[in-house]
């Protein structure tokens, strides 16, 4: 009797383990998850000449669509209220809750001083305009995003079609590894149910539940309809934000990049940000 | 063998009831947190990991520390550890149970935890952490149980188990290495971005884990009549002292790199942790007392353990005190300072301090109580078998 029970327990234990482990093993072996997460990238990286410092020679993705933006701070300073309206447009478009306290804050696009946004650029004796203009901060939709590398469930991923770093709110387990990994502080967590704090509900975009991470999605839902991101549209009057394909030599954003000196945030980390600033 | 947990002196039941009380409070508080969300904790957008993840990190070390008994006994045939190796294996089980509970408590969507298996992501260190933690848990349950069963029947353990015993040694190293890699592979977090994190974790683990085992042996000697033997204790103390010194050496190296290179990113977190930071007219220093307590307790404990006081035949008070001080010291270092310090400053160079809430503390205490509950049951079984064969 006792022996039979032992045997049963053994078989049950082994099958339970197999049942839990099997899907993982099948997935790992069927999809080339390891190879696809940067095989090409790595090859390109090795070919690049080694430069001094921490991986300054990071090579950008040479082909395919890669969406990015250039933020012209000179034009931003022309109309100081413009950034606020861009932030408001972002909040409206994405049902971003507005919490009264900073502890629960959800930020996709927000304002911060130059010295906080550009930590590795000196702000010693910076010009009055730079010192007094708040800079917009947002997700950089990195070409090599550390958050995607860290996510244990592929709930955040880079879209192959346009390089946008997107989120699956229904897959996110809320471990917040991506928040620790992001060097730009671009990710927010829903510490509680955000819905009561959404001021004006937009039925065209889902609201989130408690316990998941969210961030700027470059307005993927608007791009699908052929529209520009909400912040770009809000700054249309001055054209302070230019948006487009960084890999297309004819795109408007490339024209700006070809003609102006631009900077990016924390380039020495090798993340290859897709957001450029004209200071 | 499980039946051994069902018979005990009143003190045994009172101890279990005492732990059970904390477990019940913790469970009730967890239900509150589950319903409301992690906003019930002190964590914020800027300090996005708190007490749960820092306890997890520390306890992975406690689990890995058990290998300091397994290795000398099975690889170097150090016979004195024969009686206590099982204590190391069972401690590892209890510690990993706590680790897993802390991870679950920390998840924003715990019901989706299996997504880690359903959507395996080999580029995430968390995926590997799950693999090695589950593997190490399984190995310790298997090895502990098979060897204890053989001991009870007074026969040699089956040959095949030695494969798993030897396998458990690299696994012990791997659990803490992979846990270190959760932190040290993140760009932009300068305090964590250091190749010495994994060795430092291992050093503090190999001190804190065995220190807890020495404490357990002292307690078991008093309450359960289980004598591990003075020779084994002294050997453990030697291991603890060397590992503790290594950890302090590694901490010192972090200071050298930060302060001599004078790179702000490398010294900012150290300055915040040990001296406090003044930022925009506000002084941030709520971890300073913890960090100095760590330094004082650690050196005090090393001194005490190295002194003849700890080697006395008739009195193990100083031995116990030294081990308790060391355990607390390394808990302050890794279970408080390391994780929380890494979030200061945030990626935009702002400082936000973290203070856990009462609800969060109750859940944390509940998980620790659960771990000690499991540990008590397992040790009861181990000691019961020891007494049975005597």
Q: Residue A121's pLDDT band (boundaries 50, 70, 90)? A: confident
Tokens of B85: 């190796």
* Interface-testing mutation among A140, A144, A191, with chain B (most B C-beta atoms within 10 A): A191
The answer to whether the CB atoms of B352 and A102 lie below 8 A apart is: yes
Q: What percent of chain B is modeled with pLDDT above 90?
A: 79
* Interface-testing mutation among A135, A153, A184, A193, with chain B (most B C-beta atoms within 10 A): A153
**Domain architecture of chain A: domains with CATH:** 31-278 (3.30.70.20)
**H or E segment to which residue B270 belongs:** helix B264-274
pLDDT in tens, B290-331: 999 999 999 999 999 999 888 887 788 999 999 999 999 999
Write out chain A residues lying below 8 Å of B135, CB-based. Answer: none
Distance CA A68, CA A242 (A): 8
* Interface-testing mutation among A144, A173, A190, with chain B (most B C-beta atoms within 10 A): A173
Distance CA B225, CA B218 (A): 10
Nearest CA in chain B to A194: B37
Chain A closest-CA separation from residue B41 CA (Å): 9
**Domain architecture of chain B: domains with CATH:** 2-389 (1.20.1630.10)
Average pLDDT, chain A: 85
Q: CB-CB: which of A152, A191, A212 is closest to B121?
A: A152
The answer to whether the CB atoms of B115 and A175 lie below 8 A apart is: no
pTM of the model: 0.90
Instruction: Inform me whether the pLDDT recorded for A70 exceeds 50.
Output: yes
Write out chain A residues lying below 8 Å of B44, CB-based. Answer: 102-104, 191
What ipTM was assigned to the predicted interfaces of this complex?
0.90
Write out chain B residues lying below 8 Å of A188, CB-based. Answer: 45
Q: Are B204 and B247 in contact (CB under 8 A)?
A: yes
CA distances from B237 to B96, B213, B228, B261, B384 (A): 24, 10, 13, 36, 26
Number of H-type helices and E-type strands within chain A? 12, 9
Q: CB-CB: which of A175, A189, A210 is closest to B45?
A: A189
Average pLDDT, chain B: 92
Average pLDDT over residues A193-207: 93
The answer to whether the CB atoms of B347 and A151 lie below 8 A apart is: no
pLDDT recorded at residue A2: 63
Q: Residue A50's pLDDT band (boundaries 50, 70, 90)? A: very low
The answer to whether the CB atoms of B187 and A181 lie below 8 A apart is: yes
What number of other Cβ atoms are within 10 A of residue A209's Cβ?
17
Distance CA B251, CA B255 (A): 7
Q: Residue A55's pLDDT band (boundaries 50, 70, 90)? A: very low
pLDDT in tens, A208-258: 999 999 999 999 999 999 999 999 999 999 999 999 999 999 999 999 999
Chain B closest-CA separation from residue A191 CA (Å): 4
pLDDT recorded at residue A30: 62
Q: Which residues contact A66 (CB under 8 A, 6 or more apart)?
A: A60, A143, A162, A163, A245, A246, A247, A274
pLDDT recorded at residue A62: 66
Write out chain B residues lying below 8 Å of A21, CB-based. Answer: 117
**H or E segment to which residue B183 belongs:** helix B161-184
Tokens of A61: 């993705």
The answer to whether the CB atoms of A211 and B108 lie below 8 A apart is: yes
Total length of chain A: 279
pLDDT recorded at residue B315: 82
pLDDT recorded at residue B105: 95
pLDDT recorded at residue A26: 67
Q: Residue B170's pLDDT band (boundaries 50, 70, 90)? A: very high
Distance CA B54, CA A268 (A): 29
Instruction: Inform me whether the pLDDT recorded for A34 exceeds 50.
Output: no
Nearest CA in chain B to A114: B348
CA distances from A59 to A144, A263, B337 (A): 10, 16, 37
pLDDT recorded at residue A38: 38
pLDDT in tens, B330-382: 999 999 999 999 998 899 999 999 999 999 999 999 999 999 999 999 999 99
Scored b (16 or more CB within 10 A) or e, A166-194 reads bbebebbbbbbbbbbbbbbbbbbbbbbbb
pLDDT in tens, A3-19: 677 787 778 777 777 77
The answer to whether the CB atoms of B120 and A211 lie below 8 A apart is: no
What number of other Cβ atoms are within 10 A of residue B327's Cβ?
23
Q: Residue A24's pLDDT band (boundaries 50, 70, 90)? A: low
The answer to whether the CB atoms of A104 and B39 lie below 8 A apart is: yes
Pairing of β A109-112 and β A241-245: unpaired
Q: Residue B82's pLDDT band (boundaries 50, 70, 90)? A: confident
Residue A26, φ and ψ in degrees, nearest 5: -60, -45
């Amino acid at each position: 009797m006792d022996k039979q029970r032992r045997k049963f327990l053994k078989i049950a234990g082994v099958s339970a383990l197999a049942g839990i482990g099997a899907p993982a093993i099948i997935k790992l072996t069927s999809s080339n998850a390891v190879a696809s997460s940067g095989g090409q990238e790595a090859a390109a990286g090795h070919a690049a000449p080694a430069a001094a410092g921490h991986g300054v020679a990071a090579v950008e993705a040479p082909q395919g669509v890669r969406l990015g933006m250039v933020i012209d701070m000179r034009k931003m300073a022309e109309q100081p209220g413009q950034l606020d309206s861009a932030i408001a447009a972002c909040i409206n478009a994405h049902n971003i809750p507005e919490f009264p306290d900073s502890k629960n804050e959800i930020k996709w696009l927000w304002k911060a001083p130059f010295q906080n946004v550009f930590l590795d650029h000196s702000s010693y004796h910076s010009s009055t305009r730079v010192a007094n203009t708040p800079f917009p901060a947002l997700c950089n939709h990195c070409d090599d995003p550390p958050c995607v590398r860290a996510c244990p469930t592929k709930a955040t991923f880079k879209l192959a079609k346009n390089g946008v770093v997107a989120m699956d709110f229904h897959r996110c387990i809320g471990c917040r590894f991506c928040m620790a990994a992001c060097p730009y502080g671009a990710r927010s967590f829903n510490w509680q149910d955000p819905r009561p704090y959404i001021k004006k509900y937009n039925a065209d975009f889902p609201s989130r539940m408690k316990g998941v991470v969210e961030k700027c999605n470059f307005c993927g839902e608007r791009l699908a309809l052929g529209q520009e991101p909400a912040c770009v549209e809000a700054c249309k009057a001055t054209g302070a934000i230019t948006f487009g394909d960084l890999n297309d030599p004819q795109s408007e954003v490339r024209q700006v990049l070809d003609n102006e000196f631009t900077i990016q945030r924390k380039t020495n980390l090798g993340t290859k940000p897709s957001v450029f600033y004209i200071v | 063998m499980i039946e051994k947990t069902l018979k005990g002196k009143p003190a045994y039941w009172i101890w279990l009831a005492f732990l059970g009380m904390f477990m019940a409070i913790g469970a009730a508080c967890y239900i509150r947190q589950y319903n409301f969300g992690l906003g019930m904790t002190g964590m914020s957008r800027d300090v996005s990991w708190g007490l749960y993840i820092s306890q997890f990190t520390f306890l992975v070390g406690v689990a890995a520390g058990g290998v300091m008994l397994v290795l000398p006994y099975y690889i170097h045939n150090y016979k004195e550890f024969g009686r206590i190796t099982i204590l190391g294996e069972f401690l590892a089980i209890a510690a990993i149970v706590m680790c897993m509970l802390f991870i679950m408590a920390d998840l924003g969507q715990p019901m989706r935890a299996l997504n880690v298996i359903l959507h395996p992501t080999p580029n995430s260190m968390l995926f590997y952490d799950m693999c090695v933690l589950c593997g190490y848990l399984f190995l310790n349950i298997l090895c502990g149980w098979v060897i204890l069963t053989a001991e009870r029947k007074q026969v040699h353990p089956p040959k095949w188990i030695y494969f798993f015993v030897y396998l458990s040694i690299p696994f012990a190293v791997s659990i803490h290495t992979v846990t270190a890699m959760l932190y040290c592979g993140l760009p932009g977090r300068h305090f964590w971005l250091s190749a010495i994190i994994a060795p430092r974790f291992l050093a503090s683990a190999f001190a804190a884990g065995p220190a807890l085992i020495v404490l357990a042996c002292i307690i078991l000697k008093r309450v359960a009549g289980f004598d591990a033997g003075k020779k084994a204790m002294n050997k453990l103390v030697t291991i603890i002292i060397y590992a503790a010194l290594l950890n302090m050496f590694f901490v010192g190296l972090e200071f050298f790199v930060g302060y001599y290179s004078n790179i702000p990113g490398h010294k900012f977190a150290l300055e915040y942790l040990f001296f406090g930071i003044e930022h925009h007219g506000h002084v941030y220093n709520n971890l300073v007392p913890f960090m100095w307590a760590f330094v004082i307790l650690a050196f005090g404990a090393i001194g005490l353990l190295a002194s003849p006081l700890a080697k006395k035949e008739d009195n193990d008070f100083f031995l116990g005190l030294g081990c308790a001080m060391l355990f607390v010291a390394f808990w302050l270092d890794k279970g408080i300072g390391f994780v929380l310090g890494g979030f200061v400053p945030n990626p935009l160079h702002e400082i936000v301090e973290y203070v856990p809430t009462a609800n969060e503390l109750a859940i944390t205490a509940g998980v620790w109580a659960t771990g000690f509950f499991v540990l008590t049951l397992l040790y009861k079984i181990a000691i019961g078998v020891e007494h049975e064969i005597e």
